[in-house]
Amino acid sequence: MKKYSCGELLEMFESHLAQTDTPAEPELLYNPIVYSMSNGGKRLRPTLLLAAYNIFADDMSKALPAATAIEMFHNFTLLHDDIMDNAAVRRGRPSVFAKWGANVAILSGDAMLIVAYSHLQKCAKEVLPQIFDLFNTMALQVCEGQQYDMDFESRQKVSVVDYMNMIELKTSALLAGAVSIGAVLGGASEEDCRKLNRFALELGLAFQLQDDLLDSYGDESELGKKIGGDILEGKKTFLMMQAMSHADEPKREILRSTYKDATLTAEEKIARVKAVYDALDIRRITEQQISTRFERAISILDSLSVGRESVAEMRTFALSLIGRTK
Amino acid sequence: MKKYSCGELLEMFESHLAQTDTPAEPELLYNPIVYSMSNGGKRLRPTLLLAAYNIFADDMSKALPAATAIEMFHNFTLLHDDIMDNAAVRRGRPSVFAKWGANVAILSGDAMLIVAYSHLQKCAKEVLPQIFDLFNTMALQVCEGQQYDMDFESRQKVSVVDYMNMIELKTSALLAGAVSIGAVLGGASEEDCRKLNRFALELGLAFQLQDDLLDSYGDESELGKKIGGDILEGKKTFLMMQAMSHADEPKREILRSTYKDATLTAEEKIARVKAVYDALDIRRITEQQISTRFERAISILDSLSVGRESVAEMRTFALSLIGRTK
C-alpha cells in the first residue's frame, strides 16, 4: 500500500480544492465562501483525515470530498465566530464579517455549512450513514464547545475540569471527527476507529494547551504575533484556570482584576499576571499536562492493529502539531 | 393502503415532535431551538412531506424524522432571517434574536441546522444518499433566494422575472424539497417524483403571490394583521414589480418614492400606491397569475401514475393553502 507524506497529502488536498467548483451567483452568498477557503491556513483537519485514511487505504480520491467537507466546516465556524467575537482580522486579512458585514457573514456561513454537507454526500454510499452520523455528532459538539466558551466569559467560577471539557468539545472534537471519518472511509476496524478517535481527542487537548501556553510564554518572532493577548483580554485559559485553582486570595484578586486595571500599561499587566503564574509554577504544570496528553495520544496510536510502521506518518504529523521533532 | 387526512398527519407530526429529545446543555445553545420549534406555526412543510409520502406508502413512522428535519430547517431559516431583518417579533412572541441577542441566535441557529441534519440521518439507509442530495440542494436554494431577496433591497431595477426566480428559490424550493423527499421515502417512481416536485414549485409560487396580494388587498380581521406593510416598507413584491413594469414615468415615481415621503401618513401612503395598482389593474393580474399557477399545480398532481383518488388529500391541502374550497 502506498503511504503518502503529510506534505503530499496537503498538496493533494490543495489541488482537489482548487478544482472544486463553487457557484458564481448570487455573488454575496458564494464569494465569501471562496474567500474564506482561499484564506490559507494550515489545513490541519483535512490532512489529519487523509493521514488517518492512508493508514488503511491508498485510493486518496475516495477521502478527498470528506476532507473538503471538514475544512469547509472548520472555516464556517471561524466565519460565524468572527461575527460573535466582533473580529475584524482573520489570518492577516479582513474577516468576512469586516469585509461584507454581519448579514452577508451570517448567510454565507449558513450556505458554507450546507456546501460542507454536500461535499460529505459524495462519500461512498455504503459508509455514508456512518460518516454522516460522525459528522453530525462532531459538528454539534463544536457548537456546544463554542457556547460553553462564550458562557465562561460571564461566569465567575470556571474550574480546570470545566475548561478541559470545553476545549475537548470546541477543539478536539473536530480533530477526532476528522480522524474517525478518515478511518471509517479507509475501512478500519471498529476498534481501530475508536482508538484513533481517542488519539485525536488527546492530541487536540495537547494542541490547545500548547496554544494557551505559547500565548503567554511563546517566542514572538516564531509566533508572528505579540505575546500576552489572552492575559490582556482576561481570557479564561488553562494557565489562568490552573493559577486560580492554586492561588491564595490576594493572588486570585491579581488574576481576576489586572486586565481591567486602567492604570497599568499592557506590558505591566502581562508582567504582573505572569509573575503570579511563575510563583505558582504554572508553566511547568502546563508543559507536564501537554506531555502527558501527547504521550497518551502516541501510545494509543502505537496500539493500533496495523503496527507501528503504518502509523509513522501520523506520528510525524502529531509531533509537528505540538512543535516537537521527537 | 391507509390514507390519512392532513389533520391526522399534522397530529402525528406534533406528537412525534413532542417526543423528540433535545439535549439540555448548554442551555443557551439548545433552549432557543426548543423555543423556536414550540412556536406553533402551521407546520405546512412537514404536513406536505407526510402527505406526499402517504400517496405511496402508509407506514408514517418512516417519514416522520425527515418531516422533523424539514420543519427544523424552516425554523432555522426564520431564526437567522430575524437577525438579518432585525426582527423583534416572530409569530406574536419575541424572536430568538430579541430574547437572547444576536450571538445566541447565530450559534443556536447553526446548531439547529445541524440538528435538522441529524434527524434526516434517521431515514432508511437505502434512500439516504438520495434524500441527503435533495435536502442539500433545497437548503442551498433557500439561501440563494434569501440572498437575492436582500440584494433586491438595494437594487434599482428588479424585473418580474427576477422576482419570480427569487421566490421560486426562497419559498417554492422548500415546499418542492419537502414533497420530493416524501415521495422518495414513499417509493414513488422517478417520474412521479419529478411531477410532484413541479407541482410543489407551482403551488409555492401561487402561495407566495397570494401572500403578496393579501398584504395589500386582504381582510385585516381574517389576516390578524394590518394591511399595507409591504407598501410602507417599499418592499419589492409581485404587485410592485408588475406595477413598475406597466406604469408610465409619473406613476413609477409614485411607486418608487411614496414609502419614503415623510409628509404622508401611513394610510395616505397605502392609499396612494393602491390607487396606482388599481389604475393598472394589478389586483386582477395577480389573481390571474395565482390561478394559472394553482391550476397548473393541480393538473400536474392529477397526472400522477397513482390516479386521482390517491391524491385527493394532497389536493385538499393545496386548496387550503391558497385559501380556496374548490
Q: Which residue of B has its CA nearest to A109?
A: B110
Give the nearest partner residue to A129 out of B128, B139, B150, using CB atoms.
Answer: B128
Q: What single DSSP character describes residue A172?
A: I
Average pLDDT over residues A110-124: 97
How close does chain A come to B99, measured CA to CA in Å? 16
Query: Per-residue pLDDT tens for B112-155?
Result: 999 999 999 999 999 999 999 999 999 999 999 999 999 999 89
In chain A, which residues have their Cβ closer than 8 Å to the Cβ of B148? Answer: 26
Say if the Cβ atoms of B107 and A143 lie within 8 Å: yes
- Give the pLDDT score at A222: 82
Owner of C-alpha cell 483535512: A46
In chain B, which residues have their Cβ closer than 8 Å to the Cβ of A25? Answer: 144
d(CA A302, CA B198): 56
- Provide, rounded to the nearest whole percent, the portion of chain B with pLDDT above 70: 99
Listed residue (A106, A97, A294, A143) closest to A209, CA to CA: A294
How close does chain A come to B113, measured CA to CA in Å? 9
User: ipTM value of the model?
Assistant: 0.95
CA A216 to the chain's CA centroid: 19
- What global pTM score does this model have? 0.96
How close does chain A come to B81, measured CA to CA in Å? 9
Say if the Cβ atoms of A143 and B114 lie within 8 Å: yes
Q: Which residue of A has its CA nearest to B147?
A: A29
Beta carbons within 10 angstroms of residue B140's beta carbon: 21
Between B163 and A224, where is the model more confident?
B163
- Give the pLDDT score at B109: 98
Residue B41 has pLDDT above 90, yes or no: no
Owner of C-alpha cell 417579533: B89
Among A217-226, A311-320, B243-252, B259-268, the range scoring the smallest mean pLDDT is A217-226
Give the nearest partner residue to A84 out of B103, B136, B147, using CB atoms.
Answer: B103
Confidence of residue A196 (pLDDT cuts 50, 70, 90): very high
- Give the pLDDT score at B111: 98
In chain A, which residues have their Cβ closer than 8 Å to the Cβ of B132? Answer: 117, 121, 128, 132
Residue A325 has pLDDT above 80, yes or no: no
Say if the Cβ atoms of A129 and B125 lie within 8 Å: yes
Show the cell assigned to A185. 472511509
How close does chain A come to B240, measured CA to CA in Å? 22
- Give the pLDDT score at A221: 85
- What are the backbone angles phi and psi of residue A89, rounded to the nearest 5°? -125, 140
Query: Per-residue pLDDT tens for B272-319?
Result: 999 999 999 999 999 999 999 999 999 999 999 998 899 999 999 999
Average pLDDT over residues B5-17: 96
Confidence of residue B325 (pLDDT cuts 50, 70, 90): low
How close does chain A come to B292, measured CA to CA in Å? 29
Q: Which residue of B has its CA nearest to A148?
A: B26
